[in-house]
Structure 1
Amino acid sequence: MTITRKSFLGAVAGAAMLTLAPAAFAQNVTLRFHQMLPPQATIPSKAIKPWAEKVEKESGGRIKVQQFNAMALGGKPPELFDQAKDGVVDIIWTVLGYTPGRFPKAEVFELPFLVGDPVAGSKAFQEYVEKNAMDEFKDVKLIAVHVHGPGLIHSKDPVTKLEDLKGMKVRGGSRVINIMLEQLGATPIGMPVPAVGEALSKGVISATTIPWEVVPAVKVQQIVKNHTGFTGSKGLYTQTFAVAMNKASYDKLPADLKKVIDANSGQIAAAMFGQAMADGDKAGLGLAQKGGNNVITLDAAETQRWQRTAAGVRAVWYKEVGDKGIDGPKLAAEAEALIAKYSK
């Protein structure tokens, strides 16, 4: 057989293409990450952005994460989890309490005076979910769960004792927190955090429960001048969050890119988001102090009055989840043990 110059060059070119194929045709993926807060807020700027950059770097640039903030891709905050489940977007960050009753086992971390440090709390919550509540996330690829730092009250009028809360319209961020506000004598008004600033300005509510970290994002320190926290390491409450990925978006990744996502899931991601919350708390408190706001810390005796009054939330929650066949006391004990473990 005679090899012509043309056929020889063609063979060389073909061999070269085969050699280049893995690099030239390596799968590149763009993941759309959707969440509710403005880009300057703590989570999008101090957690999602560095997480995305880490994923992009470790994938050799083959995974590109596009951030879409402030519900830019449409819908409302309570719809975010379903957007990930249904493949409307690839990844979301959301507040679990925005869909009441959907995550009953995860709710235990919202019980009053349970969580303090958000890093320890987030690590504890991650392990808790992996052991006890993965069935609640079966419709998504769970990247991580986490909590925020100590929850407190931000109000137009000073709250210096339990009686000051009586009849006050206070924003609550979840079903369990609203039960707690009722027990404390307030009138709970449920709403997502992006609506808080306007609701305070228009007098729809007189106070809100949020941690320090979210204060700057909704300019609460400019709208109200009173902030009431508690003695001790535990906050009045915390809220629970999840970073979740569409299952199909994950499943279609090649094995090496799945490993990149897996390496940035679980405890690593939970701690990263928890640390962002801790840093955000310092920044939010600093802004209120700089503005000369009235930062109140209730003394130990008054804090104990709130703790005793809020203790009834557990009985209500135990009954509600018990009706669903869930052992509430057992899960609460598990949560407390894990928080203690990671708080050492």
Structure 2
Amino acid sequence: MQFKMALTACTLAIASLAAPAQAQDVTLKVHFHLPQTSYASTLFIQPWCEKIAKESNNKMKCQIYPSMQLGGTPPQLFDQVRDGVADVVWTLPGYTAGRFPSLEAFELPFMMQKPEATSRALWEYAQIHSQKEFKDVHPLAFHVHGPGVFHMTGKPVKTMADLRGLKMRAPTRLTNKFIAMLGATPVSMPVPQVGDALSKGVIDGAVVPYEVVPSVKIQELVKYHSETDPAAAAFYTSTFLFAMNKAKYESLPPDLKKVIDANSGEALSGQIGKAFVQADAEGKKLTANNTTNVIAATELATWQKLGDKLSADWIKDMSGKGLDGKKMLDDAKSLIAKQAAKTTP
């Protein structure tokens, strides 16, 4: 009888020890700065969450917190995922100027033409040059958005002279520098602040891709949209990070880690870039009642010279930080070209 009771107790003890090792349902808190109705949410974040739920047999699900619902400001998203305030975030490293210098190679003027190919290249590049900067998180994807567009309240942009003296919103350190070189006064702010700044006349225009239009109702706040020549590289793009808390990832059982791994990396980065092309097309439809123009290639050639100077200055800046800026920029260009050659339009 005593032996039977001891055996039962032993069995219960083993069961209690084994219980935590069994796959438990996992809920990932996903935090980002745009509304849940934004294209970033509907074309990328929500589908990703649905996919990992399906492939994990619903053992792993997302709890989505759009519009900074977990608190803080957009520039704090990286720290939130690092510290475990959120399990997954989508953010722009460029919102914290100078903190992630390696990725700036992709934010220099006239680097990006195909978002899918450039996003794949960015993932590859980050594995070479950005490991140290992102060692405290588990990156899921790096990507870029589509071509930046000038959205103006008072007049279209046709030449550099049209920007002189205007206050222009720009997202990142290098884009702000380039806007200043073009003659405007740059005003740095995250996307959620753009609508209010336009409506109050704090800025005369903003550079964002068409994808952002519905998130801040830009089509209702401006009259003009000035694109750069679609046959040329974009005058700017921004880099993005989709990342998971490192401890959260490492705590996952092997089967769930496998699901995350299958939905991360170069392929996911390219898929997001492709989704942003679709988002741009949808966002542009909303501007149909406004006036749109394309800045001529001949005009952009002058801009390119300024872009080349900014690139040279950036290389010197990186050297001052102990980084090989020339190697970084050369690698970025070669990876973009390689990916563009094998990515369908």
Indicate whether the TM-score tops 0.5.
yes
Match of 2:247, as an amino acid? A
Match of 2:45 in 1: 48
- Aligned partner of 1:313 in structure 2 is 310
SS at match of 1:135: coil
1:39 aligns with 2:36: yes
1:268: how far off? 2.2
**Deviation of 1:141 (Å):** 0.7
1:98 aligns to 2:62 (yes or no):
no
Q: Is the 8 A contact 2:125 2:331 kept in 1?
A: yes
SS at match of 2:23: coil
The one-character-per-residue Cα deviations of 1:254-296 (angstroms, maximum 9, x if unpaired) are: 111111111111012202211221101111112212x2x1111
For the 8 Å contact 1:174–1:239, the answer to whether it is kept is yes
Q: Does structure 1 residue 59 correspond to structure 2 residue 56?
A: yes
1:242 and 1:343 map into 2 onto residues whose CA distance is 21
Q: Is the 8 A contact 1:84 1:245 kept in 2?
A: yes
2:185 is aligned to: 187
Alignment of 1:139-288 (within 5 A): 139-156=136-153, 157-231=155-229, 232-288=231-287
- In structure 1, give the amino acid aligned to 2:266: Q
Deviation sequence 1:283-326 (CA, Å, 0-9, x none): 1112212x2x1111112211212222332211221121110011
Does 1:117 pair with 2:114? yes
Structure 1 Cα separation of the partners of residues 113 and 37 of structure 2: 24
SS in 2 for 1:134: coil
User: Which residues of structure 1 form unaligned runs of 5+?
Assistant: none
- Which residue does the alignment assign to 1:86? 83
For the Cα contact (< 8 Å) 1:117–1:233, is it kept in 2?
Answer: no
- Shift of residue 24 of structure 1? 11
2:23 & 2:261 partners in 1: Cα distance? 19
Look up the equivalent residue of 1:270 and give its one-letter code. S
**Offset at 1:135?**
1.1
Q: How many residues align?
A: 333
Q: 1:129: how far off?
A: 0.5
Q: What is the CA distance between 1:23 and its match in structure 2?
A: 12
Shift of 1:73: 0.5
- Could you tell me which amino acid in structure 2 is paired with residue 343 of structure 1? A
Q: Secondary structure at the match of 1:339?
A: helix
Any idea what the Cα deviations from partners look like across 1:186-206, whole Å, max 9, x if unmatched?
100000001001101100000
In structure 2, relative to structure 1, the CA distance for the partners of 1:23 and 1:89 (3 Å cut) is closer
Identity of aligned residues (%): 46
Segment of structure 1 superposing worse, 84-93 or 226-235: 226-235
- Give the drift of 1:233: 3.4
CA distance in 2, matches of 1:30, 1:297: 46
The residue identity in structure 2 corresponding to 1:95 is: L
Report what 1:107 is aligned to.
104
Question: Which deviates further from its counterpart, 307-316 or 183-192?
Answer: 307-316
For 1:98 and 1:189, locate their aligned partners in 2 and report how far apart those are by CA, in whole Å.
13
Identify the residue that residue 323 of structure 1 maps to in structure 2: 320
Gaps of 5+ in 2: none
SS of the aligned residue for 2:101 comes to coil
CA contact (8 A) 2:225 2:291 kept: yes
Work out whether residues 194 and 206 of structure 2, in 8 Å CA contact, stay in contact via their aligned partners in 1: yes
What is the DSSP-based 3-state SS (H/G/I as helix, E as strand, rest coil) of the residue aligned with 2:321?
A: coil
Aligned-residue Cα RMSD (Å) equals: 2.2
Deviation at 1:185, TM superposition (A): 0.8
Alignment match of 1:29 (pick from 26, 31, 39): 26
Distance 1:311 1:202 in 2: 35
Q: Offset of 1:64 from its aligned partner? A: 1.2
Supply the distance in 1 between the matched residues of 2:41 and 2:285 (Cα, whole angstroms): 20
Q: Tell me, what secondary structure is at the counterpart of 1:137?
A: coil
Task: Give 1:26 deviation, angstroms.
Answer: 2.7
On the 8 A contact 2:23/2:253 being kept in 1, the answer is: no
Q: Distance in 2 between matches of 1:199 and 1:272?
A: 32
